A and B are shown apart, each in its own frame.
Chain A
Amino acid sequence: MSISKDLFLAILSMDSYNRGYNAGIDFANSDASDGSAEIGTATVSYNLNDAGISQAALDAGFYAVAYTISGSVNIPELNGETVISYRGTDEISGDEGDSDAWNGWLIGAGVTNSVWCAA
């Protein structure tokens, strides 16, 4: 089945909620960047460990993962591209400094010195 580029990117956007810490759906080694974690023609290629910010990101309630796209017959313009997927709100009011409302939404309001920016 062929899907559009936008739909595939939307799927990857949602997929970040199912990888790493506090994943919605818990896969083993869900964000391993060794080439073993795949979704469609996207392979997880870079994670918070690789970036060296896993502790800071956890503390701030931040999560992102990068995929490399390969072998996409239906969406050739994505072949070889890297897609970075960020979680949006998944912990609105964490009580240990990881509140998305505090750390994330404020960025949307223009406050750029939040811990997310630091992560």
Chain B
Amino acid sequence: MGWRSAIGRGVWLLVIVLMAIGATGCRDRNDWHQKLTVVVDTPSGQVSGSSVVEVKSWFGQIPPSTNEVSYKIRGEATVVEVLPGRYLFALLGGSKERYYWAVRDELPTQNRGKWLKLIPKMSTVAILEPKNHGYPMLVTFRDINDPKSVREVDPLNLSATFGPGVSLDEITLEITDEPVTEGQIGKLLGWWLKQAKDNRDPPAFGVPNQSPRGYTTVGILEFVRGIDWRQE
């Protein structure tokens, strides 16, 4: 291959990269902050916890990618101290379209490009339902300092985990101007975050379940996403 050919290929590569980078402006960008609040009834009264998460969305395809939409999440899992020293975590998985699923019957359109524009302006406080992507995964630790004590919590039967008289009252989700919540996870699970070495995650938790393997893994992105937790 002659040097003219090599330069020609290099120029084409550069043109393609610049076109791809420039094409990002062709997508519709819509961002919002959403606050997830978990309310739990306990024998000593009602307790609750909230966390504000930022959702960024880009709608529109840029060939050769076939993705219609991409999202970025920034925030932390919601934490509730259900009983002294016993915490309930509502994890981040599913955050990106949870508000849509909660309010979809109110929306005048099911066209994603259109409802993504509407969501940041909505004021509905949605009470989540267990079905249709409604509830986040809930976990707790029998001992907040013991990674092996993590357990999934049945949202319809909190008393099985936390004892008699404890039940989920409601989980709500609303659009808010409040800032993204930071620091709650670091306060409670700082010992875990510190286990991250070099560029790697802290070791994922093995949450027992009914799967063939007997447990599923829950990692850092379910607890903290888009926040520099390595400085916690």
Asked if A7 is an interface residue, CB under 8 A from chain B, the answer is: no
Is the interface on chain A under 10, 10 to 19, 20 to 34, or 35 or more residues?
A: 35 or more
Contact in complex: A49, B23 (CB < 8 Å): no
Would you give the shortest CB distance from B200 to chain A, in whole angstroms?
4
Is the interface on chain B under 10, 10 to 19, 20 to 34, or 35 or more residues?
A: 35 or more
Contact in complex: B20, A52 (CB < 8 Å): no
User: With A47-B217, A49-B217 in contact, is A91–B65 under 8 Å at CB?
Assistant: yes
Contact in complex: A55, B17 (CB < 8 Å): no
Give me the 9 closest cross-chain CB pairs, A-B, nearest first: A35-B212, A34-B211, A49-B219, A93-B24, A92-B20, A34-B213, A34-B216, A49-B204, A49-B217
Contact in complex: B64, A89 (CB < 8 Å): yes
Asked if A3 is an interface residue, CB under 8 A from chain B, the answer is: no
Asked if A90 is an interface residue, CB under 8 A from chain B, the answer is: yes
Using a Cβ cutoff of 8 Å, how many contacts connect chains A and B?
A: 103
Would you give the shortest CB distance from B2 to chain A, in whole angstroms?
18
Contact in complex: B17, A49 (CB < 8 Å): no
Interface residues of A (CB under 8 A from B): 17, 21-22, 24, 26, 28-29, 32-36, 47-50, 52-56, 58, 88-96, 99-102, 105, 109, 118-119
Interface residues of B (CB under 8 A from A): 13, 16-17, 20-24, 62, 64-68, 70-72, 94, 97, 133, 199-201, 203-204, 209, 211-221, 225
A contact residues around B71 at 8 Å (CB): 22
Contact in complex: B221, A90 (CB < 8 Å): no
Q: How far is the CA of A58 from the CA of B70 in the complex (A)?
A: 12
A53 contact from B16, B68, B199, B216, Cβ within 8 A: B199
Q: How far is the CA of A44 from the CA of B58 in the complex (A)?
A: 28
B62 contact from A32, A35, A92, Cβ within 8 A: A92
Contact in complex: A93, B199 (CB < 8 Å): no
Q: How far is the CA of A118 from the CA of B219 in the complex (A)?
A: 19
Show 26 A/B contacts (Cβ-Cβ < 8 Å), sorted by A: A17-B66, A28-B133, A32-B216, A33-B213, A33-B216, A33-B217, A34-B212, A35-B211, A50-B217, A52-B201, A52-B203, A55-B201, A55-B220, A56-B200, A58-B221, A58-B225, A89-B65, A93-B20, A93-B24, A95-B24, A96-B72, A99-B21, A100-B65, A101-B21, A102-B17, A118-B199
